Structure 1
Amino acid sequence: MKIVVLAGGLSAERAVSLVTGCGVCRALRERGHRAILVDLFLGMEDVPADPETLFDAPDGLCPQAEIKAQAPDLEAVRRSRRDQGPSRIGPHVIELCQLADIVFIGLHGEDGEDGRVQAMLDLLGVPYTGSGYLSSGIAMDKAAAKRMMEPAGVPTPKWRLLEYAEEEAGELAETLPVPCVVKATAGGSSLGVFLPEDREALRKALQEVRRFGGRVMWEERIFGRELTVAVLGDRALPPIEILPAEKDFDYAAKYQAGGARELCPAPVTEEEAKLVQNLALRLHRALGLEVYSRADFILDGEGRAWCLEVNSLPGMTPGSLIPKAAAAVGMDYPALCQEIVQRSHHLKRRG
């Protein structure tokens, strides 16, 4: 098949997305597909007279991509686009997507996980991988997803949305319970997540979290083991336990060598594994997610599982969590990418 792997974009998770996109593109080419990587924001300034010839370009047009300790400078990315246009969709992106048999969405964060790209592709009649626009948008908004967890029978920590002006952060910090979690509702890759343990740290978190945009959420801090469960098709893969090398599992810990140990399958009892797997499947279905997703949990000292959030487009770098869970059941990375494409290609999209 001709496949456009859509990656990059203009979100704080741009670097992660590009590494995901390169890994997926090369894996699909290994499986015989004519796959190319297209950057959602930068697009392609110059295309040949017959754009279809790009699908045979060496290495699928994959750039040099790496994930550094800090999130990318998005203003520098903006300045690097020649046309300097206002659109978040770069030159020739739509044209190339329309030439493809399917678009593999390798985007993370804003524009990709929030359902806007999916809605665009729906309107163009272009098939794509993963969940549709509505369920993607709900999953991306942590508050909206949490509102659906309890009715679905998925326990989640106590939470509330916060509305405050910057100068009110100090006063608010005196009233909220600590320790706690403060997060941006639309963040990902642990960006915009703070774990204050005292009121001064809470005040700073309430000020800094606003840089990540969207709404701000306070959440009860549950202490325990960090587990994540991937859903692929109609099955839950083995849970993974995450053991950060430092105190917190932040952006750097997720993507830098030595930042965390990931144990797969997680060393939990069969009963505990089934518990989080069933909850991940239940949430996947309740939100109307399709093909694949990944839900994050805390398993407390009493064996109760608390869902923190769900990801409709979890990381697909070769070292990401879903490829590790797939490997635990005998599925290598190219086979995983192939299954995502096949399952998505057969979907009948709901309105």
Structure 2
Amino acid sequence: MHVPGKIAVVGGGPAGAFVAAQLARSGREVLLFDEKLAWEKPCGGGLTDKAIARWPFLREAAAERNWISHCELIAPSGRGVSFRLDCQIAIFSRKVLNGLLLERACQAGAQFCPGSHQTVQIKFLKELYGYIWVFPRADHFSVGICGRMQGMNTAGLRRVLDDSLPEFGLSLEGARFYAHIIPSLTVKALGRPISGNGWAMIGDAAGFVDAITGEGIYYSLRSAELLANAIEQDAPEKYSAFVQEDFLPELEHASRIAGRFYGGKWMGRPVVERMLQLTVRSKSFRELMRDLFAGTQEYSDLRERVQRSLPRIGAETLVSMFWQPSRTLFPLRSRE
């Protein structure tokens, strides 16, 4: 495949800004097109330890962020669990994060072409494949809701969010509302071409989003890095294979099990309810949850790990129920 001397990157989000920076740094002439460039958007802005470890500049840059060390999960029933994270999550304002990435691209030599125009809380919802998030940023809260657009439009999602905010002691007075479609794809859609002669898609444009959590920033940055690597090798046709080898199977696994996660049952109870119960009762299960939030536990190995650990999880749960029968979900929380 021919590699043009001048490369156009359409979209200045995390993926676009990242690939523009890497290609410009390698000596390519890069034009970065975006209507808004650095702007706020409806996204929690969380970066897992996996992302921070892969790209240390995200930790080292002089950018405003909040480091999170605890997580609180709330089931549709209103019961929940709070637990400490082994690896911190960094919460950025999306405007700050995009500004950081765009500045890197500019410093590397990319040319901009603008258009003319400490505890995170997650609540799962009944009959909705999604959740409400409350992420504390450096000087404000990012509060939002995500769910499938099947039988529920944007206005309906906002009503659910409005009705739920009093539970968190928050109100929308003076807040600005944003809406954005998350490209969470089916397994079949993830198999469509992401590149061709003279073009390639990365990040949201390619649908690289975790169908369970809605996380897309890591996959935006990683797909941008993989495309830049392929172009730097003068072999952009390798990009699709790089993605397939690196993270696409993980997104396919997430897409396959998302329906069961939000709508299925596990050991006689809704999956989310059972998951939270075991997080309270079992140290081994809490370790699994911490690894999921750190981004180090892959979905492809999740079922095998649960099955392998099930005897220990069961024993820990029984011991906990015998010695601490009053230990339960909120208002008594696990703080280990």
Per the normalisation by structure 1, the TM-score is 0.24
More helix per residue: 2
Determine which structure has more spread, i.e. the larger CA radius of gyration: 2
